Chain A
Amino acid sequence: MPASTILSAVRTPLATALGSVAANVFSYVPENVPVPAVVLVPSSPYMEFDTIGKSTFKCKLNFTISCCVAYSSNPASLDNIEQLIESVVLAIPAGYEVSDVQRPTVTQVGASNLLVADIVVSTHYTRTN
């Protein structure tokens, strides 16, 4: 077993850093989404191999941080998601490229409607043996 994994070195620390946000934070896609929620989802492409050499596993990891709030009234929901995005962006630790935020969309999860916006972030991971 390697000493580090993407879960232990990247996803869990990122989710922990986002723990200061007033929302339920998941480092994986949960079965149910208790709003407000911040969900760390692999983006596409998930892994990019942009450094030279192959002596150890190294890659650029792309993630989508999905910010989810309840969608009831449009002005209040938009304000809620904007505030959630602000607090998430402030909580993203050093070493992450934060490129953009996709426009909020209404997504139906089960019986409820959520307003969801995606923040695209990237970082580099090197496996330590």
Chain B
Amino acid sequence: MATTVITGRDISLSFTGGTDIEAQALSAVLTKTNLRQTYQTLDGEAYKTTNVEATFALSMLADWGKTSSVCEALWSAAEAPETTISVTLTAATGAQFVFPILPEFPTAGGAGSDAQTVDFTFKVAGGAVTETFS
């Protein structure tokens, strides 16, 4: 079978509010983790999954002041910190993930010589990721 390669260019990303996140995003990584307890028993190791967590790491170019600014939309959203934002991430055609994130305030400012960037690690509410695989 032929080798498949997918890259960051294959990603598409959108979130509630309709701002143009894809034009600004440098990287977008969804991580879902099983939290396991490990028990040493007389039969060997036994495992119990106690929780499922997910985070969404987003690195983006800051766009303060732009019409339909992502930074401004996220700032406004973070003022209602318990209200989730629905994110749709397509890793590649046929692999789509929809999940609710809890909003965070973006940083503002940066170094004189570089483009201003903003890095987030959003918590996915309830670790609830809905995947659609073709």
Q: Does B115 contact A (CB under 8 A)?
A: yes
Which of B18-26, B37-45, B67-75 touches A? B18-26
How many of chain A's residues have a CB under 8 angstroms from any CB in B? 16
Among the 9-residue stretches B3-11, B95-103, B120-128, the one with 4 or more Cβ atoms under 8 Å from chain A is: B3-11
Which chain B residue lies CB-closest to A123?
B115
Give A55 to B26 CA distance when docked, in angstroms: 14
Judge whether A52 and B27 touch: CB under 8 Å. Answer: yes
A97 near B115: Cβ-Cβ < 8 Å: yes
Segment 39-67 of A: residues with Cβ below 8 Å from B: 49-56, 58
* Contact between B10 and A51, CB atoms less than 8 A apart: no
A97-B22 contact given A52-B13, A53-B9, A54-B10, CB 8 Å threshold: no
CB distance from B50 to the nearest CB of A (A): 33
**CB-defined contacts of A58 to chain B, threshold 8 Å:** 23
Q: Which residues from 87 to 129 on chain A have a C-beta closer than 8 Å to any C-beta of chain B? A: 97-100, 122, 124, 126
**Measured between alpha carbons, how far is A54 from B22 in the docked complex, in Å?**
9
Q: Does B132 contact A (CB under 8 A)?
A: no
- B115: A residues at CB distance < 8 A: 97, 122, 124
Q: Which residue of A lies closest to B89 (CB)?
A: A52
Could you say which residues of chain A place their CB within 8 Å of the CB of B13?
A: 52-53
Question: Chain A residues in contact with chain B, CB under 8 A?
Answer: 49-56, 58, 97-100, 122, 124, 126
Q: 16 other contacts beyond A52-B27, A53-B12, A54-B9, with CB at 8 A cut-off?
A: A51-B22, A51-B24, A51-B25, A52-B8, A53-B9, A53-B22, A53-B25, A54-B10, A55-B12, A56-B23, A97-B113, A97-B114, A97-B115, A98-B113, A122-B115, A126-B23
